[in-house]
Amino acid sequence: DAGVTQSPTHLIKTRGQQVTLRCSPKSGHDTVSWYQQALGQGPQFIFQYYEEEERQRGNFPDRFSGHQFPNYSSELNVNALLLGDSALYLCASSAPVGTIYFGEGSWLTVV
């Protein structure tokens, strides 16, 4: 049983560019959340998707947007990249009632 899978694992972008990160949830999970983790800090909640709708959003600007597809996979899009967006982006999946599992993350470096 594959766990939460994320792609790409590493990427480098230039300030002002746009990036798309992808996530496939664990089998049987229908809820996907995205977190940003800066070095030396705990993850920060970006948003959660359920039934293809954004169910809850953290304190992130509108440059951060997402999507969930009918197969429950999800994308995180970040526009107008800033140097401060450099971080590990984590996808988490869960079932309606249950524990939350994380993928290995996508390392984004903005130069």
Partner 1 sequence: QKEVEQDPGPLSVPEGAIVSLNCTYSNSAFQYFMWYRQYSRKGPELLMYTYSSGNKEDGRFTAQVDKSSKYISLFIRDSQPSDSATYLCAMKEGSNYQLIWGAGTKLIIKP
* Binding footprint of partner 1 on the chain (CB under 8 A): 4, 6, 31, 33, 35, 40-45, 48, 55-56, 58, 88, 90, 92, 99-105, 107
Minimum Å gap between C-beta 53 and partner 1 is: 12
**Which residue number, 22 or 45, has a Cβ lying nearer to partner 1?**
45
Alpha carbon of 95 to those of 10, 31, 72, 107: distances in Å?
Answer: 27, 6, 11, 26
Shortest separation between residue 16's beta carbon and partner 1, angstroms: 26
Q: Which of 63, 65, 13 is nearest to 34 (CA)?
A: 65
Q: Are 35 and 43 in contact (CB under 8 A)?
A: yes
In the complex, the smallest distance separating the C-beta of residue 9 from partner 1, rounded to whole angstroms, is 10
Q: Residue 94 — φ and ψ, nearest 5°? A: -155, 160
Closer residue to partner 1 in complex, CB, 78/92: 92
CB of 31 to partner 1, least distance (A): 8
Q: Cβ of 43: how many Cβ atoms within 10 Å? A: 18
